[in-house]
Every structure is written in structure tokens, then in C-alpha cells.
Amino acid sequence: MPANTSNDANNIKHLKKTPQVSTFDSEAFLRVVTDQAGVYRMYNDQQVIIYVGKAKQLKKRLASYFRKDVNSSKTRALVKQICAIEVTVTHTEGEALILENNYIKKYQPKYNILLRDDKSYPYLLITAHKHPKLGLHRGGKKVKGDYFGPFPGVGAVWESLRLLQKIFPIRQCEDSYYRARSRPCLQYQLGRCSAPCVDKISVDDYQEQVNLAKLFLQGKSSAVIEQLVAKMELASNELNFELAAKYRDQIVTLRKVQQQQFVSGHVAELDVVGLYRDKSHVCIHLLFIRQHKILGSKSYFPVVPTESSDSEILEAFIAQHYLTTDTLTNAQIQGNIPKEIVIKENIEQVKELSRLLSEQAEFDVKISTNSRGERAQYLKLASTNAQSALASRNSHKQSMLARFTALNEVFELENGINRIECFDISHTMGQQTVASNVVFNQEGPLKTDYRRYNVFGITPGDDYAAMAFALNKRYGKLKANPVTEQEHSALEKLPDIVFIDGGKGQLAEAEDFFNQLSLTKTPLLVGVAKGESRKPGLETLILAGSHQLISLPATSPALHLVQHIRDESHRFAIAGHRAKRQKVSKKSQLESIEGIGAKKRQSLLKFLGGLQEVMQADVNALSKVPGISRVLAEKIYNALHEK
């Protein structure tokens, strides 16, 4: 780990030059800078970090930037912007590598190679519980249990969970749901859960199924089948034909899974890093091999400064992707670090990176180059996928840019169209109303800026009021004369066009709202009215102010863009509304009563025989439930029968 960057002089020396808007005196700085290992941060005249680097000898490395014979145009451009440098000294070069990686992730400097996607990978988790749960885990609080993965995406985990549910009747419900059960749920009726919550299966038999699931997830499906065959024969000999039939069905399902086509080989566990670049565009494709199979893959599109070599890109990727301080401990999980990483190019820090990864993973990690045989085939596959992913991404960007250009030909905005936002409302009979706000830029959907708003304080079913509520949530804090940086940033994110999914009524709400806002610059407001029979291609655009109607040809790229953002806002609103509606439908009326926890709810339901019986019970009947006093019984009765 890096040396502590606090004031402890025994652990670290910290030399700092306060950033100032002036010409940087490199000679004066180099006279006092240390010759030890460490990390340096370069600032521009706005006191923004533009580059972070590490060095085994700080003085020697920093001096190289200010030589007269610097060949790299990137370095020359960087040096021209330097107004200050901060230096943090570390004990070793390895510590400097970790600290550099942390700074790059935190500050996202302009001249560093940046890996944008820094999400943690999802895993399958079997909890350490009396009746273990099989589910998904991704970051957050550490949970005791056995982890399997990582998977390239959440979709792959859900697919695995659906498959496992058909084979092993292990619960996948949340602990809160499990504790509140008084009778088997629908999953038990479907044969996808053995209902351990109500003791439909013994602890030993349930643990046996859990152990078989663990073997299967470790890639030992043949061993699982052998055990099931032995148990089926034993049950048959004991004339327990019903149990034997259950084992038989498990075996049949497992054999079907085995017959599925997997890309497999002899290597048990490794990651393969393929790289493809086209001018300034770069794609890194990561291939995951676990239990001798390609588990999945993922493409990354890092921001790469010009003149960066392939080896520099790979080194930056490995450091930013694998060196992390929030990985789960090895006692719980191996983390996302494999036993071997295969790359095409030799990198300068290969030994140091390998050592640091081994320390973090607590097992030997090898970084391989010049691969042959099966590894070479995997590397070729990863490189091909990187090329395909980059071509697909560039094609999408060109198509999206063409659509933006076509839309601007319709509206003729002076500065062009760079950002579009769209609003939609979703509810069921006025209940659980949710508003969506989706954002597109010239590269397509900008999902980091998507927003959902829970609409409240309006008449149920009033779409006009709901639209006004959403607009106020999104733009209500904008100021015509911003003062703070936050206010400036909010105003800069003001879109060029705001689409309102609806007719003249919804559009009129948007017009009134922006008129009251009194901004010096307002976006173009456009209503998107559905055509006759709501068929795609028959949409009509309504311009704010004049309320002029515009009908575009069904083949128009501009209309395709409008349909895309409208459909995306519709999807995003419906998804939020359904989640909210489902949450409400699952919530028991007893949960809203203060003083009634999970145990008392379960006691009420068990003693009286269900929620309907609780609803029909009087105060005397409620007070007879164990743990329910007369005062609490009156409180429950009043809450359930309140008009």
C-alpha cells in the first residue's frame, strides 16, 4: 500500500508548491525536489490537475519534462500548461503505482489514459446462513458466504440464477421475505424452492442441495450427476419412488445443461486483454475464462491521449482495472483478479504489477506475453472482438450524428443541437405516478444524466400537473445570473431541445413553466403527439409558441431520433412506475403500523391464520395474540379500519 499521506514525517515527505496563475519556475522547483520514489501531480492555471505520474526517482523523471529536446508533442503541450506541481514521496515504487492509480481514478486528469467504466463486477453468492440464499452480489456491504464469478454483467448472473432455480430448489428470496413466511410461496408450488422457511425440507437435505449447487458452480457438473445417480438408486432400492423421481428430474435437467455448447479449453482461469485502435479511438476487450470456459466478455473504450503506445494503454488498463482498495477479502472471495492475465504487448511495469496483484489477491498472479497455443487463440479472439466492438461503436456514433444533423435541418438552431432531453409520465389510474427525464447527446443516450421523479402533491391522474412537477424538479433551481460553480454547471447542462411526450396540454405546461423561470436562454420546446391509432411513423411534432404542427416522413432520420428518445423516456418511466407499484403491492398493511415489527407481524398472521382474518378480528381477538397487548391491539384495529 502507498505510504500514509498525512503529516507523519516518519512515514512520508510531502513537498508542495501552491498552484498559482503564473509561469512555472521549473529550475527553482527541480533544485528542491527529492530524488526518492513517489507520485507527482501537475496543475494548470485553473488549479485543475492535468496529469498524474509516478517515478522511481522523482527528480530525474520531472527533469525530463523540461528538457529542450523533448520529441513528444503531447509532452510539449502538457508542459506549456503546467503552473504548479505537487509531489508525494512513497517508500517504494510499488506504493507509488497504487497511489498513482488512486489519483487517476479520483481526479480523471486530461493527459492520463482514463478507464471510464469503474463499476464492480457482479457475483453469484451463496450466503452463510442456516438456510443459505442463492443470489446476486455487486459491491456494497460485504456478506459472509461463498462467491462465484466474476460475471461480465448483471444479465449473465440473472440468467445463471434462472438456470440454477430449475436444477436446485434453493431459496432466492430476501431474508426479510424468508423470515415473514407462514406458508409456502408460489416458487414452492412451481417446484423451484424447497420451502425451508416453513420446514418443508430438513436442514440436512437442504444443505445437501446447497453443496451440489456449489459443486456445479465450480464446474464439477459431472461429479454432481454422479452423486445424484447414487442417491436416485438408493431411494429406488428403499422403495421411495417419489424421491427417486425428483433426483431423476434433476439429473435430466443437468444433462441438458451439459449438452449446451460452451467455448471451452484446457486453461482453468485467466483473463485475456485484447486491444484494437483506429487513429485516436481505442477499444480494450476483456475475455473471462473460468472453469475452462469463456464465462463472458466486456468492451472498454478508454480516453487515450495522442501518441500513447499500446504498452502504455495496457499498463494503465491493468492498473486501473485490477488494483483496487475495495475488493472483498480472500476469505470471502478471490476478487476479480484471475491467476493469469494474457496481453499482447510487453509492458514496462510487468514485474511490479504482477507482484502487487499477487499481494492483493493473496495468490500468485502471472501477466503473460508472447503467448502460444490456446492462449494465443484466446488473444486473437479478444483482439477480433475489440475490433468489432470499436467498429460497431463508431458506426453507431456516425449514425447518431447523422440523425442530430437531420433534426437540426428541421429546427435550424443557430448553434446546432448538442443535447436533447425528453419527459414522460407513467401511472396506473393516477396511482404511483413517476416522471422520467432522459438525455441524449451526439453519441446517443447519456444514461448518467437520466433522472426519475416520484410525483406527489397533485390530483391523481392529472398529467399536466405531473409534467409541471417534473419540469420544476429538473429546472427549478436554474438561475438567469449564476454565481457559484454549481449554478454555472447546471446552466451549462441546459438542453438545446426539450421534447414533451404528449399533446398541446402538456406542452402548454412546459411553456408556462419556462416563461416563469425567466432565463436569458431557453431550450426549444417541442411536443410529441402520437398519431392516429398510435402507430410509429405517424407522430406529429408541436412547436412551442406558434403551436405549428410538423409531420416528418416515416423514413426521416430526424423522426427516428425523436422516436428513439421518446421511446426511451417511455421505457424509463414505465420501469420506474412498475418498480414502485410492485413495491407497494408487496408491502403489508401491517408494516405501516408503528410498533409492529417482523416478529409481531408473523405472530399475528400465524395465530389468526392470515391477513384477511387479522382484518376481520376485533380488539379482543387481536389482544389474544402472543406478544400483543390490549393497547397495541386497539392501535392495530384503528389503523386497519381507519377510513
Domain spans, the chain: 14-107, 123-258, 269-388, 419-581, 589-640
Q: What share of the chain is helix, strand, coil (3-state, %, to 5)?
A: 45, 20, 35
The DSSP symbol for 264 reads B
CA distance 611 to 138: 35
Residue pLDDT, tens place only, 21-45? 346 788 888 888 888 888 898 988 8
> Would you call 104 helix, strand, or coil by DSSP?
helix
pLDDT tens digits, one per residue of 616-639: 888 888 888 888 888 888 888 888
- The backbone torsions φ and ψ at residue 35, rounded to the nearest 5 degrees and listed phi first, read -105, 10
Classify domain 14-107 by CATH number. Answer: 3.40.1440.10
CA distance 224 to 254: 9
Res 453: pLDDT:
94
Asked if pLDDT for residue 19 goes beyond 70, the answer is no
Q: Is 131 left (phi over 0), alpha (psi -120 to 50) or beta?
A: beta
pLDDT of residue 257: 54
Higher pLDDT, 299 or 449: 449
Q: Which of 61-75, 203-217, 292-306, 543-557 has the lowest mean pLDDT?
A: 292-306
Pick the CATH number of 269-388 from 1.10.3470, 3.30.420, 3.40.50, 1.20.1270: 3.30.420
pLDDT above 80 for 302: yes
**261: pLDDT strictly greater than 70:** no
Residue with the bigger pLDDT between 306 and 125: it is 125
Distance in angstroms (rounded) separating the CA atoms of residues 51 and 48: 9
For residue 295, the model assigns a pLDDT of 67
Residue with cell 413466511: 181
**In this structure, which amino acid lies at residue 640?**
L
The pLDDT value given to residue 145: 85
Residue 467 in this model has a pLDDT that exceeds 80? yes
> What pLDDT score was predicted for residue 455?
92
pLDDT score for 328: 38
pLDDT digits (tens, 9 = 90+) for 576-610: 999 888 877 666 677 778 778 888 888 888 887 77
Q: How confident is the model at residue 140 (pLDDT cuts 50, 70, 90)?
A: low
Q: What is the DSSP string of 32-101?
A: HS-SSSEEEEEE-TTS-EEEEEEESSHHHHHHGGG-TT---HHHHHHHHH--EEEEEE-SSHHHHHHHHH
Shared fold status for 269-388 and 419-581 = yes
The rounded distance, in Å, linking the Cα atoms of 465 and 479 is 22
| Cα distance between residue 320 and residue 308, in whole Å | 16
Q: Give the mean model confidence (pLDDT) for residues 289-298.
A: 71
DSSP string, 282-339: EEEEEEEEETTEEEEEEEE--B--TT--HHHHHHHHHHHHH--S-PPPTTT--TT--S
Position 331 scores a pLDDT of 33
Average pLDDT value for residue range 82-90: 84
As a whole number, mean pLDDT of residues 68-79 equals 83
| CA separation for the pair 281, 295 (Å, rounded) | 27
For all residues of the chain together, what is the average pLDDT? 81
Higher pLDDT, 578 or 14: 578
On the question of pLDDT at 498 being above 70, the answer is yes
Q: Is residue 396 pLDDT above 70, yes or no? A: yes
Give the pLDDT of residue 570.
93
> What's residue 587's pLDDT?
66
Region 304-330: mean pLDDT is: 74
- Kindly provide the b/e burial profile for residues 244-272, where b requires at least 16 CB atoms within 10 angstroms of the residue's own CB: bebbbebbeebeeeeeeeeeebebeebbb
Nearest residue to 83 (alpha-carbon basis) of 173, 19, 30: 19
The fourth-level CATH superfamily of domain 589-640 is 5' to 3' exonuclease, C-terminal subdomain (1.10.150.20)
Contact at 8 Å (CB) between 57 and 96? Answer: no
pLDDT for 451 equals 93
Instruction: Assign 477 to helix, strand or coil.
Output: coil
Instruction: Identify the residue whose cell numbers are 528542491.
Output: 32
Share of the chain above pLDDT 90, in %: 17
User: Cell triple for residue 399?
Assistant: 449514425
Tell me: pLDDT of 260 over 90: no
419-581: what fold? Nucleotidyltransferase; domain 5 (3.30.420)
